[in-house]
Homo-oligomer: A and B are copies of this chain.
Amino acid sequence: MDTIGFIGTGHLGYPIAENLIRAGYKLKVYNRTASKAEPLKALGAEIVSSPEAAATKGGIVMSLVSDDAAVEAVNTDALLSALGNGGVHVSMSTIGPEAARKLAEKSKAHGVTYIAAPVFARPEAAAAKVGNAVIAGEKGAKERITPLLQAGFAKNVFDLGEDPGSANVLKLIGNFMIAASIELMSEAFTLAEKNNLDTRVVYEMLTTTLFASPIFRNYGGMILDRQFAGNPSFSAALGLKDIDLVLQTGKATLTPLPMADLVKSRLLTVLAQGVKDADWLALATGAMHDAGLKP
């Protein structure tokens, strides 16, 4: 099987890299903090000390890092030269569409195809390969890398066409909708609690009928159980970064998004309160606090 470069073994990258190794791929792994990648060595991965050292000529590099600046620090001339003509950079990070388009242009100048393939999955879903991928970019390269997404984390792969930015827009829309749904459930459960309803029955009724979807079912249960801090699988700070990208994308295309404004305020409040290890789910505490409930 191909040797794949893999850059970024954080909360989400690590289980994806592990899945790829277990599926038989040879991995060259780079992570800024090398110790986080170290356990993959025992599974057979080679740990390298720079992004470009993960690349092979005409091969594939997958990256999953935290933000626009981090992807730019990966997609360097050195990496693109090492990949060279026929190479593919599968960029799985959640970044803005304009950044993705610029990275694609820069890659193209080196003969490298940039594919945007952001990940819809919390770490446990990625590990179980029940996540969702949205991809955009050049057709042939998309076909080439799709098996990697499936082996790494994705149950479903949705194709948004040629413009790499479009996959990032859909990823941002998805995260915006999750955040807004967290706020909505929080307001709903708070109203139920303040009216002395059995919130467990309310949750069961809503999430097994009208709102019987993974987001409402899973996040709703965590809101009821007040799982707002402790080992966050997606931090409030990262959530704020994504909602900011949503609002920037709205600004760039003149699209007012009042619900995104609201969840941004909620996330700012979470960070202002300085809760250690807050998950972005903690935005649900806003409506509870406002109504005088103890979250």
Q: Among B180, B210, B253, which residue has its beta carbon within 8 angstroms of that of A214? A: B210
Find chain B residues with CB under 8 A from A188 CB.
Answer: 173, 176-177
B187 near A184: Cβ-Cβ < 8 Å: no
Given contacts A213-B213, A215-B210, A262-B259, contact A158 B204 (CB under 8 A): yes
Find chain B residues with CB under 8 A from A213 CB.
Answer: 210-213, 216
Smallest Cβ-Cβ distance to A218: which chain B residue? B210
Oligomeric state, in copies? 2
Q: Among B160, B209, B216, which residue has its beta carbon within 8 angstroms of that of A197? A: B160
Find chain B residues with CB under 8 A from A206 CB.
Answer: 173-174, 177
Find chain B residues with CB under 8 A from A209 CB.
Answer: 120, 132, 156, 214
Report how far A169 CA is from B134 CA in the complex, Å. 39
Q: How far is the CB of A238 from chain B (nearest CB, A)?
A: 17
Smallest Cβ-Cβ distance to A250: which chain B residue? B191
Q: How far is the CB of A259 from chain B (nearest CB, A)?
A: 6
Smallest Cβ-Cβ distance to A192: which chain B residue? B173
Q: How far is the CB of A174 from chain B (nearest CB, A)?
A: 6
Residue picked from A163, A197, A262, most chain B C-beta under 10 Å: A197
Fill in one digit per residue for A166-203: 1 if any B CB lies within 8 Å of its CB, else 0: 10011001101110110111011011101111100110
B256 near A290: Cβ-Cβ < 8 Å: yes
Smallest Cβ-Cβ distance to A190: which chain B residue? B255
**Residue A243 lies at the interface, judged by CB distance under 8 Å to chain B:** no
Q: Among B173, B187, B246, which residue has its beta carbon within 8 angstroms of that of A258? A: B187
Q: Among B132, B196, B197, B253, which residue has its beta carbon within 8 angstroms of that of A191? A: B253
Report how far A188 CA is from B246 CA in the complex, Å. 10
Find chain B residues with CB under 8 A from A184 CB.
Answer: 177, 180-181, 184, 259
Q: How far is the CB of A110 from chain B (nearest CB, A)?
A: 26
**Residue A69 lies at the interface, judged by CB distance under 8 Å to chain B:** no
Find chain B residues with CB under 8 A from A134 CB.
Answer: 205
Report how far A109 CA is from B24 CA in the complex, Å. 75
Fill in one digit per residue for A241-260: 1 if any B CB lies within 8 Å of its CB, else 0: 00000100110011111111
Given contacts A177-B184, A191-B169, A259-B259, contact A215 B204 (CB under 8 A): no
A249 near B216: Cβ-Cβ < 8 Å: no
**Residue A73 lies at the interface, judged by CB distance under 8 Å to chain B:** no
Q: Among B173, B190, B202, B290, which residue has its beta carbon within 8 angstroms of that of A170? A: B202
A158 near B215: Cβ-Cβ < 8 Å: no
Sample 5 A-B pairs with CB under 8 A, ordered by A number: A97-B195, A132-B210, A174-B210, A180-B184, A187-B258
